[in-house]
A and B are shown apart, each in its own frame.
Chain A
Amino acid sequence: MAVRKAQDYYPDCPEPFLVSLARAGDRSAFEELVRRRQSQVRNLMRRFCNDPVLADDLAQQVLMKVWLNIRQLKKSGAFDAWLRKLAVNVWLHHVRRNDALRGAGELQGTERPRTETPGVAVDLDRALARLDPHIRTCVVLSYNEGMSHREIAGLTGMPLGTVKTHIRNGAQRLQEILSAYEKPQEVNAP
């Protein structure tokens, strides 16, 4: 009978155990964590930036930050919240950098090619892209991640009142934009 290596059991291991191993420098455990969490991080980034290529790039940055800083994580059970925090920080850093570079010829999200994205996600991401990045961040964290207003305020550093306003206004604006998508498409005759 072939002897199984310890790594062969990783797909069946609970996440806190994998996090503990990764904290001790086990790359195989980290690889399993990446495999499990990449979809969540990429989906979140796609909602944020409406650009699959940029979203994947940002997701890679997040996962690299996980590898570089995982020793700072005190409790293995807090991995989910910590990962989300890293993702939001990477996104907000990108937004700030983009604000500084605005008008410097950087490609906008809608100009990039999109891949393997279903219709609903495309419509939603396009609608989200029309919101201000800070409003979008609050709306995505609330609707996509199910975070409370207080948690969002803590994570983003925005005042609680601002977060509430952003979510209310953002949701209203999204409804307006997406209601147009719900109307039957008219074919433009040449």
Chain B
Amino acid sequence: MMAELHDVKLESLFAEAKHDLEGEAITARVMSRTRNRLFTLLGGGALLSLVLLLIGWYVFAGPLLEFAVLVSEFLTNPLIDLGEGWLALVFLPINNIASILVLSTRVSLLAWKKLTGTSLIR
């Protein structure tokens, strides 16, 4: 490799010109800029999320509500038709699909705990 000759005088001049600059002010300014950028990003993210939420609400609120109504109607359908008398009122809390689902889940969890000795729900 060819030697890269440097002018000695110039080299010493460059070395002499280098000096330690006080750094607290510039460090504070840089850190402040990083903080501002972080806040800007967080603010922008929050604003974007809000806008997306509002758009989502505007677009999906109607269909979601309809779906929720349909599901709740389905789950509260009586399993056995007991008419509209006192017997229907007495059995109302358990005479529907939702109650059966809750009870079967509860029984499954208990059975699992009995069989394995561990709980699925922590």
Contact = CB atoms under 8 A, between A and B. Distances in A.
Nearest to B17: A121
Nearest to A37: B23
B26 A120 contact: no
A142 B19 CA distance: 18
Main secondary structure of the interface of B (DSSP, over half): helix
Contact of A118 (B19, B22, B26, B33): B19
B27 A142 contact: no
Interface in A133-154: 142-144, 148-149
A171 B5 CA distance: 11
B30 interface: yes
Contacts of A38: 21, 23, 26-27, 30
Nearest to B24: A35
A60 B26 contact: yes
A12 interface: no
Interface string B83-94: 000000000000
Interface stretch (B8-16, B61-69, B74-82, B98-106): B8-16
B18 interface: yes
Interface residues of A, number: 32
Interface residues of B, number: 25
Interface in B1-48: 4, 6-7, 9-11, 13-14, 16-24, 26-27, 29-31, 33-34, 37
21 contacts: A31-B27, A34-B26, A34-B31, A38-B26, A38-B27, A43-B18, A56-B26, A60-B30, A60-B33, A64-B33, A67-B30, A67-B34, A68-B37, A116-B22, A124-B14, A142-B4, A143-B10, A144-B18, A149-B4, A175-B7, A178-B13
Interface of B: 4, 6-7, 9-11, 13-14, 16-24, 26-27, 29-31, 33-34, 37
